Structure 1
Amino acid sequence: MLWKRTRILARSRRRRASLKRGVAWGMKMQVEKDETAVPEAPQISSDTWFALAIAAFLIALIIFTGVASWIFTGDPEQIQPRAQAFTPFGGALIAVVTFFTIAWRGVLNTRQLEYQAAQIKHQVEQLTQTKRQNDAKDEENLAKLLMDGTKLSGDDKESHVLAGVAVLQAVATSPRGAFASQAMDILVDLVEGTYNQIAKVKIYDAAREAVNLGATAGRKSTRRISLLYDDDKTNFTHAINGVQSVFYRNAYFDYSEYPRFTDIREVRFEKCLIEEATIHGNHLRFTNCEFHGCKISTMTGAFLEKNSFESCDFSGAKYTGSRPKKPQVLERLRNHGNFFSEDNPIIGGVPSDWVVYLDMIATIEFEDLEEGN
């Protein structure tokens, strides 16, 4: 068996060596092909154009010398006719010399531009390589921070856990974005594990703030969490963003905390107390909740049936859907201080119902106040 394994290993090494030689030979052939490739158009070097320009200049100089001798050594009466006769040929000679000179300069400029382009390309490749190296280094550092933060967050000492939260927050809010989702997952796990533990309130606050900062930076966790306060009283809690979904039970939100939800579609409420907040849409996500002093912007029969309202402002609220099948649904709105403004009635539903079950507040004009005084 050992002999067979040795033969297999030797054969594998020979194959790898042969493959490497084949790759090297292919790369060499490609380079030679690029260097010896025949251009599609005729190529004239700058030296050739320079030689042509010098030759044209010398030929033109000889011709001009001979013609000048022919013109000025002859009969004086023939000077002007001879000069006029040679003028077109002289212009042509000058044009030929100029053409060769311009061609030579053009080839030189082209070579210079090609050289500069090659230099720029080389610099771009160097910058790209440097950027790749820096990106790899940054990701390596973020991976190390993630490991360190995870390790610290599982420590028994509160100070170590808080330090771990700070490290994970740096990963979650990093512009690079590498490992941000993993950092958000760990922070969300901390939130769910400490939200109802008084002894760990500092950890909960730090982790919650880190998660919300990550959400502000566009990061999102893959977790679905539940914050369930299963006792007789509602507990003041905070908005959690940057998760797949969050479920609250027996939680309390006021006018300052409820608007902090960036996407209310990801949130569900059960037996929650919400005070002095503006409620718009998301009706199916409220069950057995109490609304105190809230501004109701939209509503449905199911929304009114599943929840209770006290001192809420329904002015201009948009009612959608059919009329509630149970008469007592609207009856629950009566005598609880719920109202709407006379000049801003409820849109939709049966207008007579709202007048019966809600208090209609008359509009007070400033002129009436002045007359009363």
Structure 2
Amino acid sequence: MQESNHERPVPEGPQIKAETWFALAIAGFFITLTVFSGVAIWVFTGEPSLVLQRAQAFTPFGGALIATVTFCTIAWRGVLNTKQLEYQAEQIRHQAEQLGQTRRQNDAKDDENLAKLLMDGTKLLGEERESHVLAGVAALQAVVTSPRGAFSSQAMDILADLVEATYSDLAKAKIFDAAREAVNLGAAAGRMSTRTLRLTFADGNKRWVYAINGVARVTYQSAEIDDMEYVRFVDLNRVRFEGCEFTGVTVDGNHRNFVDCILSSCEIRTMTSGFLIKNAFDNCDFSGARFTGPRPVRKKDRPHPWQNLRDRGNWFRQENPIIGDARIVWEDFFEQVVPMPVDYDPIEQEDLTSA
């Protein structure tokens, strides 16, 4: 593929072709040979006393002739090497253009295949047979996990809608599990849905739930969440819990997204006044917890806003106290566990040594 004149680089100085340097080198060689032949006759046909004098007189001129021929030869080789490098660079550029064109064609073909997968998978979700629906979920999963990322947002939205439509239907548990897994795999690949989900479970019929990632926001209401599932939430800032029950989890941040929840046997590492007021705590470990924000304001003739913390088995270790406002007497709300002393019986120790 030839370049047009306006695409070729403009040389910065005068350019001499390789053929010109080659011709100069050949001409210089024959001129030097002729001159050396004539000088040799001139030197060796003279008087013996003048041979050395004539040879020394011609030496600088002979060296200049040889240097001129050498220079022309080197210049000729340099131009040849430059042309060869330019030719190789042109070949590489041409190959890069071909590879780029092939890659664009492949990308277009991949996008076409992903679009077909998206349409076929979406159609299969409307089938009656469970196996067909699961095949549709698998097709959409292939779209969201594809390295290309084309149509991944649309596929994530469809899968998120399927999660919301099946989470409470036990007859569609397999479909829900497949859709949930596909959305989570998409989230692991950096894909994100624009959907906002609200998963509500009837009071008195709470059940253990699974972490949903990769959506703009998800709200769990009246759900039960244990420590194994809680750590699977990738971005807790996108998760809200309302009236949920937690068992054995470690809470570190995300305080505003806990409302009317019950936390049992949990480890609390950070907390705010609102977090303590809006939720209930049973047998939780507050050792070393960091308290931030303002203290609660107690109104006259009203119980303390943290009254719900008392007499519920919540505690902290004396050697690892709560960090925060020094004016708060935490012992008024939590049990302070004192380290048990280690006693040694000298008599028993002596008997044990002698034995």
Scaled by the length of structure 2, what TM-score is found?
0.91
SS in 2 for 1:329: coil
Shift of 1:34: 4.3
Unmatched segments (≥5 aa) in structure 2: 350-355
Match of 2:38 in 1: 66
Matches of 2:174 and 2:347 in 1, distance apart?
A: 58
Q: In the alignment, which of 259, 263, 270 is matched to residue 242 of structure 2?
A: 270
Match of 1:3 in 2: none
User: Structure 1, residues 176-217: CA drift from partner, whole Å, max 9, x if none?
Assistant: 111111111111000000000011011001100111111011
Q: Return closer, same or farther for 1:215/1:365 CA change in 2, 3 Å cut-off.
A: farther
Match of 2:76 in 1: 104
Q: Return closer, same or farther for 1:352/1:71 CA change in 2, 3 Å cut-off.
A: closer
Matches of 2:270 and 2:59 in 1, distance apart?
A: 95
Match of 1:176 in 2: 148
Match of 1:140 in 2: 112
SS in 2 for 1:256: helix
Match of 2:353 in 1: none
User: Structure 1, residues 292-339: CA drift from partner, whole Å, max 9, x if none?
Assistant: 000011112211111100000010111122222244332221221111
Question: What pairs up with 1:233-244 in 2 under 5 angstroms?
Answer: 233-244=205-216
Q: Note if 1:346 corresponds to 2:322.
A: yes
CA RMSD for the aligned pairs? 2.3
Is the deviation greater in 30-39 or in 252-261?
30-39
SS in 1 for 2:86: helix
Q: Note if 1:360 corresponds to 2:336.
A: yes
Shift of 1:118: 1.1
Q: Which amino acid aligns with 2:268?
A: I
Q: Note if 1:337 corresponds to 2:309.
A: no
Match of 2:264 in 1: 292
Q: Note if 1:192 corresponds to 2:168.
A: no
Matches of 2:198 and 2:347 in 1, distance apart?
A: 57
Q: Return closer, same or farther for 1:370/1:258 CA change in 2, 3 Å cut-off.
A: farther
SS in 1 for 2:312: coil
Match of 1:18 in 2: none
Matches of 1:348 and 1:372 in 2, distance apart?
A: 45
Q: Aligned residue pairs: how many?
A: 344
Matches of 1:97 and 1:87 in 2, distance apart?
A: 16
Question: What pairs up with 1:80-229 in 2 under 5 angstroms?
Answer: 80-229=52-201
Matches of 1:219 and 1:369 in 2, distance apart?
A: 64
Q: Return closer, same or farther for 1:325/1:31 CA change in 2, 3 Å cut-off.
A: closer
Q: Return closer, same or farther for 1:347/1:36 CA change in 2, 3 Å cut-off.
A: closer
Unmatched segments (≥5 aa) in structure 1: 1-29
Matches of 2:347 and 2:230 in 1, distance apart?
A: 42
Is the deviation greater in 41-50 or in 289-298?
41-50
Matches of 2:232 and 2:140 in 1, distance apart?
A: 22
Q: Which amino acid aligns with 2:184?
A: N
Match of 2:17 in 1: 45
Q: Which amino acid aligns with 2:160?
A: V
Matches of 1:118 and 1:279 in 2, distance apart?
A: 61
Matches of 2:181 and 2:79 in 1, distance apart?
A: 65
Matches of 1:36 and 1:280 in 2, distance apart?
A: 62
Shift of 1:352: 6.1
Q: Which amino acid aligns with 1:119?
A: Q
Q: In the alignment, which of 280, 300, 304 is matched to residue 276 of structure 2?
A: 304
Matches of 1:233 and 1:368 in 2, distance apart?
A: 53
Matches of 1:320 and 1:97 in 2, distance apart?
A: 86
Is the deviation greater in 329-338 or in 208-217?
329-338
Q: Higher helix proportion, which one?
A: 1
Matches of 2:246 and 2:137 in 1, distance apart?
A: 30
SS in 1 for 2:231: helix
Q: Which amino acid aligns with 1:296?
A: I
Matches of 1:36 and 1:328 in 2, distance apart?
A: 83
Is the deviation greater in 320-329 or in 133-142?
320-329
Scaled by the length of structure 1, what TM-score is found?
0.87
User: Structure 1, residues 56-114: CA drift from partner, whole Å, max 9, x if none?
Assistant: 10000000000001111111111111111111000000001111111111111111111
Is the deviation greater in 35-44 or in 259-268?
35-44
Q: Return closer, same or farther for 1:369/1:196 CA change in 2, 3 Å cut-off.
A: farther
Matches of 2:328 and 2:5 in 1, distance apart?
A: 90
Shift of 1:351: 6.2
Identity of aligned residues (%): 59
SS in 2 for 1:260: coil
SS in 2 for 1:257: helix
Shift of 1:40: 5.4
Matches of 1:38 and 1:208 in 2, distance apart?
A: 61
Shift of 1:356: 2.3
Match of 1:5 in 2: none
Q: Which amino acid aligns with 2:214?
A: G
